[in-house]
A and B are shown apart, each in its own frame.
Chain A
């Protein structure tokens, strides 16, 4: 059974702080890793994709991947109240298999 684990939260951070979201996955052969943001009642929206070990930055977002530890993280710098949402970690266990989602971490940014 291929699993993706996330702390469900809620994670509360003050406006302007760094939010750190974490995810672990069970399938060591996984190749593709994604972070989606989901507002309540809405669909998942792609935030970041990462495929190799290390950091990938896009604006206020940084994704970090450590395949040896089977660990993916998302950092959100200068957090804004509009960042308040559930963040879903998703993994593709191999090239053409579907996404396996974690339950998501609910982030609350307090103004």
Chain B
């Protein structure tokens, strides 16, 4: 069964450094998402991406964050200058069309020191 693939599984970074989290969505899916989950808290929406542009973003997704689909397969989340509070699990998700279920990758655990 096709899967959403995320790399790396764990990223440790010094505060203030830039990080890029990578995702390969399922190949025929059209909608792409990033979510995060701080330890012990709920899954929170960051940004959605459709037709090569951001379709919606949350208050969390400030100027430090950006997303890109540099080619036909990868979908990346960049955090320009990381803060301690960015430490969380980051999940990529994709779905084929509107109202269909989203399928999640295994996540990247981001630890900011």
Contacts and interface: CB of A to CB of B under 8 A. Distances in A.
B98 A95 contact: yes
A96 B55 CA distance: 9
Contacts of B106: 42-43
B33 A31 contact: no
B43 to A, nearest CB: 4
B55 A43 contact: no
Q: How large is the interface on B (under 10, 10 to 19, 20 to 34, 35 or more residues)?
A: 20 to 34
Interface residues of A, number: 24
Contacts of A45: 104
Nearest to A45: B104
A92 B31 CA distance: 14
Interface in B94-110: 98-99, 101-107
Interface string A49-75: 101000000000000000000000000
A19 B44 CA distance: 26
Interface stretch (A10-18, A21-29, A76-84, A101-109): A101-109
Given A43-B106, A43-B107, A44-B104, A92 B99 contact: yes
**Overall SS of chain B's interface:** strand
A32 B95 CA distance: 13
**Overall SS of chain A's interface:** loop
Contacts of A102: 42
Nearest to A51: B99
Contacts of A34: 101-102
Contact of A46 (B41, B55, B91, B101): B101
Interface string A82-96: 000000101010011
A45 B4 CA distance: 12
Contacts of B99: 31-32, 51, 92, 95
Interface of A: 31-32, 34, 36, 42-46, 49, 51, 88, 90, 92, 95-104
Interface of B: 31, 33, 35, 41-45, 48, 50, 55-56, 89, 91, 93, 98-99, 101-107
